[in-house]
């Protein structure tokens, strides 16, 4: 097939044609077990019947309306997010990058309104990932996503993830925001230490800094609770969610308190498609399924199975030295002799009929459906083991 899309993507060697549940089929009708879930997006698998039903029902009612109006579906979704979190207000956009952009703008606007223009520093962590806009790519502490796009936005600085002493040195009275992922996803599925996030909360209180938790990848049930912060004994000032929120349809949400929300005065920020009624209708249905005891219990149960079986695969193949992560966001760290070759494992796995990807050069990432069953898990992991057995590192 001739490619008409810009070359900033390196596409896989197969083209998916259809999908159902945890299975994807290509143009040759070969099946693949999806253990990646669209990189933590397809939280309820592919083509979930309840989501399809809602989509069809809403498609006959209202798709889009000017943002001079609010809608019943967007208000219903905002209410669900508020009633199940710390938040009091919600802003909707279309992606994780957009709601991270909104969160950072809100933090700066709040600081400007209350403390003046000098309180403008944004602190993030090295090797973080917060999006691909120029602002969010700069805030993400990875040079590879910034090179060639300068000059970059100023007053953005970085600290070492999970280093509490470094955090104490960098957060000060001129800082308006500290943004952090509870688990660094793109950099290798690295969970934050409890003490690190607790120290961050204390320092943000001390210096009147907005604590922003980027839960684009960890939110919506991925770690076994609705949001990961609920396992860390802290409360953020701003939280961002996307990916699984729409289960495949584009939506992002920025959650915050009334205190911070007031900085977004009419006209200060906006969106054309954010919170559109079609996507919000589906997201409401997805929210109710994800935020159920049945789904969250399955995440915890399946984590234990995945961890045990992946450790067994690691012992039998010698290809992994560590399995880490929370819930159904799992990183398989390559053994030292295979460093830098995670992309080869991903390619070999695809040949064997299982979809995974890499999170950095040394980690194979799994982020399957939150409702994955034992049969599909075992089928997928059997194929992954076969791929590892057959893999000849290049």
Q: Whole-angstrom Cα distance, residue 201 to residue 324?
A: 25
Q: Whole-angstrom Cα distance, residue 99 to residue 131?
A: 9
pLDDT at 314: 98
Best CA proximity match to 214, nearest among 173, 255, 179, 163: 179
Average pLDDT of the chain to the nearest whole number: 97
pLDDT at 1: 81
Cα distances (angstroms) measured from residue 317 to each of 32, 283, 335, 377, 382: 22, 40, 10, 18, 12
Query: How many Å separate Cα 315 from the centre of its chain?
Result: 29
Interval 246-293: pLDDT, tens? 999 999 999 999 999 999 999 999 999 999 999 999 999 999 999 999
Report the CATH number of the 16-34+292-390 domain: 3.90.1150.10
Cross-sheet strand order for the sheet of 89-93? 89-93, 252-256, 238-241, 210-214, 175-180, 121-125, 156-159
In the chain, residues under CATH classification 3.40.640.10 are: 50-290
Q: What are the backbone angles phi and psi of residue 293, rounded to the nearest 5°? A: -60, -35
Q: How many other CB atoms sit within 10 Å of the CB of residue 302? A: 22
Q: Which CATH architecture has domain 50-290?
A: 3-Layer(aba) Sandwich (3.40)
In the chain, residues under CATH classification 3.90.1150.10 are: 16-34+292-390
Helices 277-290, 293-317: inter-axial angle, 10-degree rounding: 70
pLDDT at 192: 98
> What stretches in the chain show pLDDT beneath 70?
none
pLDDT at 287: 98
């Amino acid at each position: 097939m001739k490619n008409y899309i810009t070359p900033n993507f390196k596409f896989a060697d197969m083209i998916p044609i259809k999908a159902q549940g945890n299975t994807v089929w290509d143009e040759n009708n070969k099946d693949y077990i999806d253990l990646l879930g669209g990189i933590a997006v397809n939280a309820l698998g592919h083509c979930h019947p309840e989501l399809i039903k809602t989509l069809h029902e809403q498609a006959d009612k209202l798709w889009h309306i000017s943002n001079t109006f609010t809608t019943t579906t967007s208000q219903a979704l905002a209410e669900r997010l508020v009633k199940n979190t710390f938040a009091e207000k919600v802003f909707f956009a279309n992606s994780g990058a957009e709601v991270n952009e909104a969160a950072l703008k809100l933090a700066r606007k709040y600081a400007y309104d209350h403390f003046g223009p000098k309180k403008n520093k944004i602190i993030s962590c090295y090797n973080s990932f917060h999006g691909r806009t120029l602002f969010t790519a700069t805030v993400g502490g990875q040079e590879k996503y910034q090179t060639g796009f300068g000059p970059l936005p100023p007053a953005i600085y970085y600290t070492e993830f999970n280093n509490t002493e470094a955090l104490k040195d960098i957060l000060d009275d001129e800082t308006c925001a500290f943004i952090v992922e509870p688990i660094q996803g793109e950099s290798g599925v690295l969970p934050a230490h409890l003490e690190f996030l607790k120290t961050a909360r204390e320092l943000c209180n001390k210096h009147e800094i907005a604590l922003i938790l980027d839960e684009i990848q960890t939110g919506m049930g991925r770690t076994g609770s609705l949001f990961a912060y609920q396992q860390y004994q802290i409360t953020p000032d701003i939280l961002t969610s996307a990916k699984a929120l729409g289960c495949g349809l584009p939506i992002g949400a920025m959650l915050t308190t009334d205190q911070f929300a007031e900085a977004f005065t009419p006209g200060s920020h906006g969106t054309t498609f954010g919170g559109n009624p079609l996507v919000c209708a589906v997201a409401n249905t997805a929210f109710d399924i994800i935020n159920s005891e049945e789904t969250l219990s399955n995440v915890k149960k399946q984590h234990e199975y995945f961890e045990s079986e992946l450790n067994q695969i690691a012992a039998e193949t010698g290809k992994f030295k560590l399995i880490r992560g929370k819930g159904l966001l799992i990183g398989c760290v390559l053994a030292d002799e295979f460093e830098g070759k995670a992309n080869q494992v991903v390619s070999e796995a695809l040949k064997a009929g299982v979809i995974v990807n890499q999170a950095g050069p040394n980690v194979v990432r799994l982020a399957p459906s939150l409702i994955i069953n034992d049969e599909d898990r075992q089928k997928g992991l059997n194929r992954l083991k076969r791929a590892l057995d057959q893999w000849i590192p290049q």
